Amino acid sequence: QKEVEQNSGPLSVPEGAIASLNCTYSDRGSQSFFWYRQYSGKSPELIMFIYSNGDKEDGRFTAQLNKASQYVSLLIRDSQPSDSATYLCAVQTGGSYIPTFGRGTSLIVHP
């Protein structure tokens, strides 16, 4: 059973702070990792993906991957109220062509 675990939250951070969203996964054979953002009443949209250990930065977003610890995180710098949404982690193993999604973490950025 492939599992992707996320704290459901809500995670509440003040505007301008760094929001840290975490995700753990059970399958050591996992190779591709994705973060999606889902606003209330909308469908998920891809933020970024990461394959290699370490950090990957894209604007205010940084994905961090540690395969030894089976852990992937998303950092949002200078958080804005418009970042308030549910963030979904998705993990794909090499043996599957589709990812497994976590339940998502609700993020609230308050002014």
Partner 1 sequence: SAVISQKPSRDICQRGTSLTIQCQVDSQVTMMFWYRQQPGQSLTLIATANQGSEATYESGFVIDKFPISRPNLTFSTLTVSNMSPEDSSIYLCSVGAPTGSGNTIYFGEGSWLTVV
Q: Which residues bind partner 1 (CB under 8 A)?
A: 31-32, 34, 41-46, 49, 51, 88, 90, 92, 94, 97-99, 101-104
Tell the smallest beta-carbon distance from residue 73 to partner 1 (Å): 18
Tell the smallest beta-carbon distance from residue 31 to partner 1 (Å): 5
Helix (H) or strand (E) holding 105: strand 105-110
Between residues 51 and 80, which has the closer beta carbon with respect to partner 1?
51
Tell the smallest beta-carbon distance from residue 14 to partner 1 (Å): 26
Long-range contacts of 98-101 (CB under 8 A, 24+ apart): 99/32, 99/34, 100/2, 100/3, 100/4, 100/25, 101/4, 101/36
Between residues 62 and 92, which has the closer beta carbon with respect to partner 1?
92
Between residues 15 and 57, which has the closer beta carbon with respect to partner 1?
57
Tell me which DSSP letter residue 81 carries.
Answer: G
